[in-house]
């Protein structure tokens, strides 16, 4: 029951994410989006600190795992920035990378970092990988600008590293320490990038940035905690996020009329069906 509850929260928060960020993308530059995300993430994690103070005290022993958190912060900074570039052109493209990165990162974590996955789960992940590539190149690639294409492939790289860093860090340190250091790292990278004064003001004044930042922060708290304390598995949590993104494809068509309805539904339904094969054995 606990796993179901956390799984549902992950699904809900990550289904909402691309749509609340699309509104922010209309009023802010990509760099500014990384600033408000980092700001709200740090703030929300501090607010929740009293609930997790015991975890922080008992589990914090400085070690090599902190490197994973710092690298993850840089990866999220790049992810937010490039996702907003994609989001302006296509919400579908901004989530289509999911199955591709899941497969490559899960394979690395399985081979090198002790991730526990059954043969059936690995097969399911790589079927989605193949379908994800097919979907992107058939439905999205030709419609994107060169800038958006570069953003897509940048996202592929940084998200793979991001998932690997989650597994590496959580093998060594508390999930809350990993989360908080990631946010601080992301904030530092965002602040030293080129940010206009008007963008900083917008981060505070624009209501859409508040909503997007809080939804993002809550989603990360739930998913990082679930990776270590609930499922004890990074790939399982990432898979739930990918199912949320499958619903995003359907919603993107009906809300923004993106893509072709046949391809949007086909790719989404295949991902949803894969949920059964991932979590249940024959």
Model confidence pLDDT, tens digit, residues 121-131: 999 999 889 88
Q: Give Cα separations from 209 to 118, 121, 167, 181 (angstroms).
A: 40, 37, 29, 22
* Cα 34 from Cα 77, distance rounded (Å): 6
Distance CA 39, CA 42 (A): 5
Q: Which two tokens stand for residue 134?
A: 């097919």
Round to the nearest angstrom and report the end-to-end CA distance of the chain: 22
- pLDDT given for residue 5 in this prediction: 93
User: Up-side HSE of residue 252: CA atoms within 13 Å toward CB?
Assistant: 33
Regions of the chain where pLDDT drops below 70: 53-62, 94, 195, 199, 258-262, 281-282
Burial of 165 (0-12, 13-18, 19+ CB in 10 A): buried
pLDDT of residue 282: 43
Q: Identify the pLDDT of residue 94.
A: 67
Stated pTM of the model: 0.86
Pair 204, 13: CB distance under 8 Å: no
């Amino acid at each position: 029951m606990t796993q179901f509850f956390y799984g549902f929260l992950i699904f809900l928060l990550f289904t909402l994410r691309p749509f609340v960020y699309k509104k922010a993308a209309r009023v802010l530059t990509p760099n500014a989006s990384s600033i408000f995300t980092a700001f709200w993430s740090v703030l929300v994690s501090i607010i929740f600190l009293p609930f997790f103070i015991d975890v922080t005290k008992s589990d914090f022993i400085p070690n090599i795992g902190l490197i994973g958190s710092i690298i993850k912060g840089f990866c999220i900074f790049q992810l937010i920035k490039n996702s907003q570039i994609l989001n302006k052109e296509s919400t579908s493209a901004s989530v289509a990378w999911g199955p591709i990165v899941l497969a490559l990162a899960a394979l690395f974590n399985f081979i090198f970092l002790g991730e526990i996955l059954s043969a059936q789960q690995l097969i399911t992940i790589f079927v989605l990988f193949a379908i994800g590539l097919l979907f992107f190149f058939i439905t999205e690639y030709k419609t994107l600008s060169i800038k958006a294409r570069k953003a897509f492939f940048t996202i592929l790289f940084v998200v793979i590293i991001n998932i690997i860093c989650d597994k590496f860090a959580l093998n060594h340190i508390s999930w809350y320490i990993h989360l908080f250091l990631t946010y601080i790292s992301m904030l530092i990278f965002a602040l030293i990038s080129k940010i206009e004064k008007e963008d900083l003001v917008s981060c505070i004044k624009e209501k859409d940035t508040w909503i997007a930042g809080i939804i993002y922060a809550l989603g990360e708290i739930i998913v990082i905690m679930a990776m270590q304390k609930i499922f004890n598995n990074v790939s399982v949590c990432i898979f739930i996020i990918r199912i949320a993104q499958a619903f995003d494809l359907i919603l993107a068509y009906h809300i923004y009329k993106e893509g072709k309805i046949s391809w949007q539904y086909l790719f989404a339904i295949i991902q949803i069906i894969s949920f059964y094969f991932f979590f249940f054995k024959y």
